[in-house]
Amino acid sequence: SGPAIEPAVLKRIFEPLQRGTSNAAANDAGFGLGLYIASEIAKAHGGELTVTSDEQQTVFVARLPRLG
């Protein structure tokens, strides 16, 4: 729950050193690498990490190829 992630932020959310614009993000001690690293891990395994966000919810989806 919470406010939707702005479209301009969504476009760059998986880039390194990117952080949200909310007060919570401004006070966070993180480096802005978590989503970048998660996305790179998904890519390294032939998959992808995506995000959608609206007033109802924000959803991150990891898609990885199935072996076998």
- Provide the pLDDT confidence category of residue 17 given band limits of 50, 70 and 90: confident
Global pTM reads 0.75
Residue 40 predicted with pLDDT over 80? yes
Segment (H or E) for 38: helix 34-44
Closest CA to 3 of 54, 59, 61, 60: 54
Proportion of the chain above pLDDT 90, given as a percent: 68
13: Cβ–Cβ under 8 A, 6 or more apart, which residues?
5, 35, 51
**For 18-31, how does the pLDDT look when each residue is reduced to its tens digit (9 = 90+)?**
666 555 555 566 77
Q: Residue 67's pLDDT is what?
A: 80
What's the confidence (pLDDT) of residue 34?
93
Among 39, 33, 34, 40, which Cα is nearest to 16's?
33
